Amino acid sequence: MRMTRIMYPTAAVCVCLLMLNAPTMAINDRPIIGILSQETYIVRYLFPGRQYDSFISASYVKFLESAGARVVPIWIGQTEAYYRRVVNYTNGLLFPGGGTYFNETGGYGEAATYLYKIALEYNNKGIYYPIWGTCLGMQALMYAALNGTKDIRVSCVLRDTALPLNLSSEHRQSPLLSDAPSDVLTILRTENVTYNQHIYCLTAEALSENNLLDDWHILATNTDVNGIEFISAMKHKKFPLHGIQYHPEKNIFEFSRKRKFPHSANSIRASQHVANHIVNECRNNDNSFPDFETEARSLIHNFIPVYTGNASDNHSQLYVFLKKDFENHQLN
């Protein structure tokens, strides 16, 4: 009786088969990121006699463009259907810093809540969709996480101050820090490169009291002038949602003579790492506009930033918008 020899695949072949069956991330080398605009409360003094409806600091646009992304401005005061189109067409979002209220009808907080809800729907379906929040934007993430029902910010004053980060035991739970080159991590931990300018913040206690620590890692902290320990960096435990309290965009693109923005080579390296991380996260999403004309009409390239560095200590350039700009450049 002739025996039949059974051939089993080698370990290498098994690994290859497993890799073929594993889910893969999209690699999008033309990412488009939406930046949420906000009310003009803190910049109105720069435009006497003019009533603009919203603005975006140009430094955020440059920050993303420096890492290879394009930008779409996101209008406040729109419908949920509009914000759903924003998420459908873009590869991620940035909620910028600034100064506004969260409980305004048709305002920044309401828009952030819509966008966060829709992004969560995407991620729960297995579609990788990142959101990044800076300063006010990180605080808005928590407002949105509570469904726009509660502002849990606390008074927390740290003005015009650059610090190193106090990394927590959870800091390696985020690729922002776990994948950082060793020299960048050393810079962040030991040098005054993270610029703070705020009067509100988030604390571990506030997150705990609102049952948010089940969903969020605290990656780093700092202490304000009154000894309050606040959250400097955080990440959602399941989804690509990040927030930081400090301003990496200012290191590279703001040059006020009255502010202590860090401009050392190391501060630029640390900030560029953040920009690269944000854009690389968005490369993992392959959403796209329905056609070239809609995409072209929606880009920030359709607008000209206004030079404000002669009058503002915080913003060298601003994009300012009127309601009619939405009508002319809306996402159909």
Q: Distance (Å, rounded) from C-alpha 57 to C-alpha 54?
A: 10
CB atoms < 10 A from the CB of 153, how many?
A: 20
Q: Distance (Å, rounded) from C-alpha 219 to C-alpha 188?
A: 12
- For the question of residue 135 being annotated catalytic, the response is yes
- For the question of residue 277 being annotated catalytic, the response is no
CA triplet 211, 101, 83: central angle to 5 degrees? 80
Say which of 198, 217, 236, 247 is annotated catalytic: 247
Q: Distance (Å, rounded) from C-alpha 83 to C-alpha 173?
A: 29
Backbone angles phi, psi at 292, to 5 degrees: -65, -40
Give the dihedral sign, CA 268/132/245/59.
positive
Give the dihedral sign, CA 246/249/252/253.
negative
Three-state SS for 138?
A: helix
Three-state SS for 98?
A: coil
Amino acid at 246: Y
Residues with catalytic function:
135, 247
